[in-house]
Structure formats: C-alpha cells, structure tokens
C-alpha cells in the first residue's frame, strides 16, 4: 500500500475533524460557559449534560457521533486509490484511529479533549453496525440501573472486541487489531473514572 499525498491529506483531515471540540465550542457559543471549568472538567457529552442540561448534552453527543460516522463516509472518496479492498479497509481504520486521537487530544482545544466514547460509537456504527447495536444494548443495561455513564462505556468498550472476534468471527486482522486497540484506548481514557468507581466516588447521572 503506497501513500500518495491525497491519502496523507485524508489522514490529516480526519484528525482535524476529530479535534473539533464540540462541547467546548457549543458551551462557549450558546451558554457562555466552558464545560471544562465545571463538573468533572471533561470536554465530553456527559459533562455537558451535567453542566448545561439534557438538551445540550444530547446535541453534543449527536455531533460527536457524527464526527465518527462522517469521517468513515468521507473515506470512500479515497477508495479509488486502492486496488486491493483490504488495503482500503486498513486506510479506513487508520483514519478512524486518527479521528479518535483528535477527539482525545484536540489541536483546537489545547489537546484537552473528551473520553472519545461518542466519536468511537459513531465509528463503530459505520464500520460494525451489528456490534454497535449490541454494545449500545450493553451500555443501556449497565447505565439504567447504576446511572454510571463511565461504567457503561467501559464495559461496552471491553465487549466491542469480544463480539468482533468471538461472536461475529471477523477474519480481517486489521479489524481485530482495531477493535482491541480502540477498546484499550477507551479504557485507558477512563482510568480516573475507574479509580473513582473503585472508591465509590464516581458521579452518577440523574435526570
């Protein structure tokens, strides 16, 4: 797989799209509030919901998911550069990872981003729709009785590669590596939440 300039450009664009700090810009523009200065201090949909309310939280969640879906949709533009479909899939996964990295470390917000759950959810929806529905069901089944968004996100992230590998038996090594890598990134991004959960100090989301 040879990299031409348009393919490198696509990777850069993916990172920049991921870097759009939805919660920060939305909060500052419509509410005059930087969500990073309130609540948990995280620039994500959950903290937006806590600080600015359900409506703002849902909007931020939807936009962050659209970043993931949109980048995968845009990747089709570069498909003509590949003669082997598996190489195109690898490129899509590279773009997906860069989008997730952009969300975690956004250049437009001082590299202080969210946990990446919504953006990864959008990516999984676009690339693994069946697995997405199962992971969504797992998230809801964990969140509703506990009210811990972080716990639902962590368990769903761990379930992602399990279903990809053992249930749907995906054979492409690149997709298997992607599922394991992104799950690990998400769990690591929640390491402070894990510490608070173990200490019983994690915040619940109550409506």
Render pLDDT for 50-97 as a digit per residue (tens, 0 to 9).
999 999 999 999 999 999 999 999 999 999 999 999 999 999 999 999
Question: pLDDT value at position 99?
Answer: 97
State the pLDDT confidence band at 5, using cuts at 50, 70 and 90. Answer: confident
Average pLDDT over residues 136-149: 97
What are the domain boundaries of the chain?
Answer: 5-199
Write the secondary structure of 4-51 as one string of H (helix), E (strand) and C (coil): CHHHHHHHHHHHHHHCCCHHHHHHHHHHCCCHHHCCCCCCCHHHHHHH
* Residues 8-55: tens digit of each pLDDT: 999 999 999 999 999 999 999 999 999 999 988 899 999 999 999 999
C-alpha to C-alpha distance for 72 and 92, rounded to whole angstroms? 7
C-alpha to C-alpha distance for 6 and 77, rounded to whole angstroms? 10
- Whole-structure pTM over 0.85, yes or no? yes
For 78, the token pair is 């570069």
């Amino acid at each position: 797989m040879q990299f031409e300039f348009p393919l490198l450009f696509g990777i850069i664009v993916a990172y920049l799209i991921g870097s759009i700090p939805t919660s920060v810009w939305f909060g500052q523009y419509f509410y005059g509030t930087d969500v990073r200065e309130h609540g948990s201090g995280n620039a994500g949909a959950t903290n937006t919901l806590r600080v600015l309310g359900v409506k703002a939280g849902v909007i931020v969640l939807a936009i962050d998911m659209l970043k993931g879906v949109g980048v995968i949709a845009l990747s089709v533009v570069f498909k003509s550069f590949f003669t082997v479909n598996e190489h195109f899939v690898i490129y899509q996964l590279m773009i997906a990872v860069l989008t997730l990295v952009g969300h975690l470390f956004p250049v437009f917000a001082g590299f202080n981003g969210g946990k990446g759950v919504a953006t990864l959810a959008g990516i999984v929806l676009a690339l693994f729709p069946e697995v997405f529905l199962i992971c969504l069901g797992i998230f809801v089944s964990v969140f509703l009785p506990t009210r811990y968004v972080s716990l639902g996100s962590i368990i769903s992230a761990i379930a992602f590669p399990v279903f990809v590998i053992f249930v749907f038996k995906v054979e492409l090594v690149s997709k298997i590596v992607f599922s394991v890598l992104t799950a690990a990134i998400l769990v690591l991004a929640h390491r402070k939440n894990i510490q608070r959960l173990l200490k019983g100090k994690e915040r619940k989301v109550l409506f």
